[in-house]
Structure 1
Amino acid sequence: MGELEEAKAKAAAVYNAAADYFDHPVSSFWHRFGRRTVERLGLRAGETVLDVCCGSGGSALPAADAVGPQGKVVAVDLAERLIALGEAKARAEGLGNIEFKTGDMLALGYPDASFDVVVCVFGIFFVPDMVAATKELWRMVRPGGRLAITTWGPNLFEPANSAFWEAISAERPDLIKGFNPWERISTPEGLPEMLGEEGIENPKIVAEAGSHPIGSPNDWWLVAMGSGYRGTLAQLDTTTFARVRDRNLALLGQCAAITTNVVYGVAIK
């Protein structure tokens, strides 16, 4: 299996596993930042939108509402369980202008200039070659259309993130990650630099500092279970999992918030 295929299989497995906690109220930031991404785009009635790495619809659902019945949103994710969650929400909201589908953003097969807007929220860094992925998304944007890429800023989920990896290190140091791929684009300089490698010039970049409240350390654990950390936790046996959880929560103490800095990028073609 090549690097790309391995990355896709890993992402699908992790987020299919995380689907049981992905929409838990403690993880409402997925949808908050999805809405903010859409708000920055100024979507107009009748526009067509492609949302890749859509999760359970954090940006796709508000986009469908914004473009109205004459518009169309195609929402794509590798994790079929997240797609099922999104479909259920679209039905509950009576949105008939959105199509959820399981698929790979690098192989959707749409012609050049197929969409007014292409959106990728917290997803571009799952592909080993982010520039190649950006090129494929940019290809599908019509002239005058927009590409929106939203990524994490620095210090994601601190102090809980450091406590998590300290707890993992105590039990399974072989699982420690040396580098998170989003770190390359986690600054107002890094994201446009990556976009520039694809020839995308003068994107509008907004760095937003923020934090996400947690009512207790256990809330953090629910966030971890419904996010990319689940991939690491899935590799632990039952007793090790329990020890990691207990150590992580003990290290957090009375932590009341976790860092959620975000960088938004919007480019006009």
Structure 2
Amino acid sequence: MISKEEANTTTAKVFNAASDYFDAPALSFWSRFGQQTIDRLSLHSGHRVLDVCCGTGASAIPAAVCVGSTGQVLGVDLAESLLELGRQKSRQQGLKNIEFRHGDFEHLGLPRESFDAIVCVFGIFFVPDMVAAVRELWRMVRPGGKLAITSWGAKVFEPANQRFWEILETERPDLVKKLTPWDRIRDRASLQALLESGGATQVKVFAESSIHELAAPEDWWTMVLGGGLRGTIDQLDPAARERVRQANLQFLLTNQVQSLEVDVLYAIAQKSHPRQR
């Protein structure tokens, strides 16, 4: 297992690089799944929300809208470039109840039981010790509050994703990952077990299978550049990178792929009041 410092450095580097495409229309799924995560929390005016691995605010901004002017949202991420985009978007929407802060959510030093809801969308699997991460998040949830962890399921933008790795192997087999970070929690049982191992209670996991439409084959390459695959692409020399891009686009064209299958898991845990324990 790599060290936490190495994991943080790698994650920050990848997503700072991906910031130039992160909010492109082809990556509308960030906002879609972020909004759907918030919808499952039943937030109210005045609630305090912590969003870790918040990116550009796909879930933090909808949360800020829900909790209103009397509420407060704190978004935390390792990628400063994404945070700055989030600040710009929140200003454009006139939101004054949201803060985007650079930091490692496992070492924020915030008081225990200080948030009505804590959210982590597509981020928990970047942490080497996920159980310890969940335990720290759960510590900060107030009695009656909720913890939401959203992760990828078995299919993640298929068939394009699998073909991407097959094409990459012809160029740089050393870059091919046999396991992706979320493979550790890619089904309902393993995600539920993670939260319960971290001390979370009343855990419910919901599975969603959906479709992500492509307006054109180039949308897939934009998705590659605007997400976690950017770190792999940036290790290719320009010629190899272009060959991989062309092969990806040709696959989509030849097979007339106009939409991608994607599975998402939503885990919601609720902390009991002391009298209920």
TM range (shorter): over 0.9
SS of the residue 1:112 aligns to = coil
- Name the count of aligned residue pairs: 268
Do 2:138 and 2:199's aligned partners in 1 also have CA atoms closer than 8 Å?
no
Per the TM alignment, residue 200 of structure 1 is displaced from its structure 2 partner at its CA by 2.0
Q: Report the residue type matching 2:265 in the other structure.
A: V
Aligned to 2:86: 86
Does residue 182 of structure 1 match 2:182? yes
Q: Report the residue type matching 2:235 in the other structure.
A: Q
Percent identical: 54
Aligned to 1:252: 252
Per-residue Cα deviation, 1:4-29 (whole angstroms, up to 9, x for no partner): 11110000000000000000001000
Per-residue Cα deviation, 1:45-94 (whole angstroms, up to 9, x for no partner): 00000000001000000000000000000001100000000000010000
Aligned equivalents of 1:132, 1:198: Cα separation in 2: 6
Aligned to 2:266: 264
Aligned to 1:205: 205
Aligned equivalents of 2:262, 2:18: Cα separation in 1: 19
Aligned to 1:232: 232
Aligned equivalents of 1:36, 1:178: Cα separation in 2: 30
Aligned to 1:142: 142
Aligned equivalents of 1:168, 1:148: Cα separation in 2: 34
Per-residue Cα deviation, 1:154-178 (whole angstroms, up to 9, x for no partner): 1111111011111110100000101
Q: Report the residue type matching 2:104 in the other structure.
A: D
Q: Report the residue type matching 1:197 in the other structure.
A: S
Per the TM alignment, residue 185 of structure 1 is displaced from its structure 2 partner at its CA by 1.3
SS of the residue 1:153 aligns to = strand
SS of the residue 2:88 aligns to = helix
Per-residue Cα deviation, 1:179-230 (whole angstroms, up to 9, x for no partner): 1121221211111011121232331211011010002221100011100000
Aligned equivalents of 1:211, 1:193: Cα separation in 2: 27
Do 1:216 and 1:255's aligned partners in 2 also have CA atoms closer than 8 Å?
no
Q: Report the residue type matching 2:267 in the other structure.
A: G
Aligned equivalents of 1:215, 1:43: Cα separation in 2: 34
SS of the residue 1:135 aligns to = helix
Aligned equivalents of 1:262, 1:47: Cα separation in 2: 26
Q: Report the residue type matching 1:122 in the other structure.
A: F
Per-residue Cα deviation, 1:19-43 (whole angstroms, up to 9, x for no partner): 0000000100000000000010000
Per-residue Cα deviation, 1:87-106 (whole angstroms, up to 9, x for no partner): 00010000000001111111
Q: Structure 1 unaligned runs (5+)?
A: none
Q: Report the residue type matching 1:96 in the other structure.
A: K
Q: Report the residue type matching 1:127 in the other structure.
A: V
Q: Report the residue type matching 1:248 in the other structure.
A: N
Per the TM alignment, residue 239 of structure 1 is displaced from its structure 2 partner at its CA by 0.7
Aligned equivalents of 1:169, 1:127: Cα separation in 2: 26
Aligned equivalents of 2:87, 2:207: Cα separation in 1: 31
Per the TM alignment, residue 252 of structure 1 is displaced from its structure 2 partner at its CA by 2.4
Do 1:163 and 1:252's aligned partners in 2 also have CA atoms closer than 8 Å?
no
SS of the residue 1:41 aligns to = coil
Aligned equivalents of 2:112, 2:59: Cα separation in 1: 23
Matches within 5 A, 1:23-62: 23-62=23-62
Q: Normalised by the size of structure 1, how large is the TM-score? A: 0.98
Aligned equivalents of 1:265, 1:26: Cα separation in 2: 26
Per-residue Cα deviation, 1:218-249 (whole angstroms, up to 9, x for no partner): 11000111000000001011111101111122
Q: Normalised by the size of structure 2, how large is the TM-score? A: 0.95
Aligned to 1:172: 172
Per the TM alignment, residue 141 of structure 1 is displaced from its structure 2 partner at its CA by 0.6
Aligned to 2:218: 218
Do 1:48 and 1:73's aligned partners in 2 also have CA atoms closer than 8 Å?
yes
Do 2:48 and 2:71's aligned partners in 1 also have CA atoms closer than 8 Å?
yes
Select between 239-248 and 91-100 the one with higher mean Cα deviation: 239-248
Per-residue Cα deviation, 1:138-163 (whole angstroms, up to 9, x for no partner): 01111111100000111111111011
Aligned equivalents of 2:204, 2:144: Cα separation in 1: 15
